[in-house]
Structure 1
Amino acid sequence: MAPDFATHVGMTVIAARRYSNGTAHDEALALTGECVPDLAPHTFDWIGLCEPDVAEMDLVRRQYGLHPLAVEDALNPRQLPKVEVYGRTLFVVARTAELREGEEIGYGQTAFFVGPHFLITVRFGSTRPHLSLRAEIEAQGDRLSEGPDYILHAVLDFIVDGYLPLLERLEEIAQEMEEAAIDVFPEQSVIRRIFRLRRQLRRFERVIGPMEEVCERLVVADLPCIDPTARIWFRDVLDHVRRAMARMRGLKETLAAIVETASLLEQHRQGEMTRQLAAWAAILAVPTAIAGIYGMNFEYLPELKWHYGYFAVWGVIITVCGGLWLRFRRIGWL
Structure 2
Amino acid sequence: MPGVIVDCAIYRNGSRTDGPEDFSDALDEARATGDAFLWIGLHEPSEKEFSLVTSEFGLHPLAVEDALTAHQRPKLEVYDDSLFMVLKPATYEPESDTVTTGELMVFIGDSFVVTVRHGEAASLSVVRSRLESEPEVMKHGPTAVLYAVSDAVVDHYIDVAAELQSDLEEVEAEVFAPTSDTRASERSATAQTTAARIYNFKRQVLEFRRATGPLSTPMQKLSGAAVPFVDAGSQPFFRDVNDHLAHANEMVEGLDRLLTDVLSAHLAQMGVRQNDDMRKISAWAAMAAVPTLVAGIYGMNFQHMPELRWTWGYPAVIAFMLVVVTGLHRTFKRRGWL
TM-score range relative to shorter protein: 0.7 to 0.9
Cα deviation, residue 300, structure 1: 4.2
165-174 or 287-296: which moved more? 165-174
Q: What is the CA deviation profile of residues 166-192 of structure 1, one whole-angstrom value per residue up to 9, with x for unaligned ones?
A: 555555665555555555345767656
Cα deviation, residue 268, structure 1: 1.5
Aligned partner (choices 1, 18, 26) of residue 10 of structure 2: 18
Secondary structure of the residue aligned to 1:223 is coil
Work out whether residues 32 and 59 of structure 1, in 8 Å CA contact, stay in contact via their aligned partners in 2: no
95-104 or 316-325: which moved more? 95-104
Alignment of 1:167-178 (within 5 A): 167=161, 178=172
Cα deviation, residue 156, structure 1: 1.4
- Indicate the residue corresponding to 1:125 in structure 2: 119
Distance 1:148 1:296, change over 3 A: same
- Is 1:221 equivalent to 2:225 in the alignment? yes
- Is 1:47 equivalent to 2:40 in the alignment? yes
* Amino acid across the alignment from 2:75: K
Q: What is the CA deviation profile of residues 121-179 of structure 1, one whole-angstrom value per residue up to 9, with x for unaligned ones?
A: 12222354322221222112222223322221111122234445655555566555555
- Indicate the residue corresponding to 1:71 in structure 2: 64
Cα deviation, residue 315, structure 1: 5.0
- Indicate the residue corresponding to 1:278 in structure 2: 282
Cα deviation, residue 223, structure 1: 0.4
* Amino acid across the alignment from 1:70: A
Identity, % of aligned positions: 36
Work out whether residues 109 and 126 of structure 1, in 8 Å CA contact, stay in contact via their aligned partners in 2: no
9-18 or 98-107: which moved more? 98-107
Cα deviation, residue 251, structure 1: 4.1
Cα deviation, residue 255, structure 1: 4.8
- Indicate the residue corresponding to 1:5 in structure 2: none
Greater fraction helix: 2
Work out whether residues 89 and 211 of structure 2, in 8 Å CA contact, stay in contact via their aligned partners in 1: no
Q: What is the CA deviation profile of residues 92-147 of structure 1, one whole-angstrom value per residue up to 9, with x for unaligned ones?
A: 12223335796665443222222353322122223543222212221122222233
Equivalent-residue separation in structure 1 for 2:283 and 2:328 (angstroms): 8
Cα deviation, residue 283, structure 1: 3.0
Equivalent-residue separation in structure 1 for 2:136 and 2:6 (angstroms): 24
Equivalent-residue separation in structure 1 for 2:294 and 2:65 (angstroms): 89
101-110 or 259-268: which moved more? 101-110
Alignment of 1:17-166 (within 5 A): 17-27=9-19, 30-32=22-24, 35=28, 38=31, 42-54=35-47, 56-87=49-80, 89-99=82-92, 105-164=99-158, 166=160
TM norm structure 2: 0.77
Distance 1:292 1:129, change over 3 A: closer
Equivalent-residue separation in structure 1 for 2:327 and 2:313 (angstroms): 21
Distance 1:281 1:62, change over 3 A: closer
- Indicate the residue corresponding to 1:4 in structure 2: none
Work out whether residues 21 and 145 of structure 1, in 8 Å CA contact, stay in contact via their aligned partners in 2: yes
Equivalent-residue separation in structure 1 for 2:34 and 2:261 (angstroms): 57
- Indicate the residue corresponding to 1:231 in structure 2: 235
Secondary structure of the residue aligned to 2:89 is strand
Alignment of 1:163-202 (within 5 A): 163-164=157-158, 166-167=160-161, 178-180=172-174, 183=179, 184-185=187-188, 186=190, 195=199, 198-202=202-206
* Amino acid across the alignment from 1:210: P
Secondary structure of the residue aligned to 2:37 is strand
Work out whether residues 96 and 110 of structure 1, in 8 Å CA contact, stay in contact via their aligned partners in 2: yes
Distance 1:99 1:307, change over 3 A: same
* Amino acid across the alignment from 1:143: V
Work out whether residues 31 and 59 of structure 1, in 8 Å CA contact, stay in contact via their aligned partners in 2: no
Distance 1:295 1:66, change over 3 A: closer
320-329 or 217-226: which moved more? 320-329
- Indicate the residue corresponding to 2:292 in structure 1: 288
Equivalent-residue separation in structure 1 for 2:296 and 2:203 (angstroms): 59
Give the length in aligned residue pairs: 326
228-237 or 267-276: which moved more? 228-237
TM norm structure 1: 0.77
RMSD: 3.6
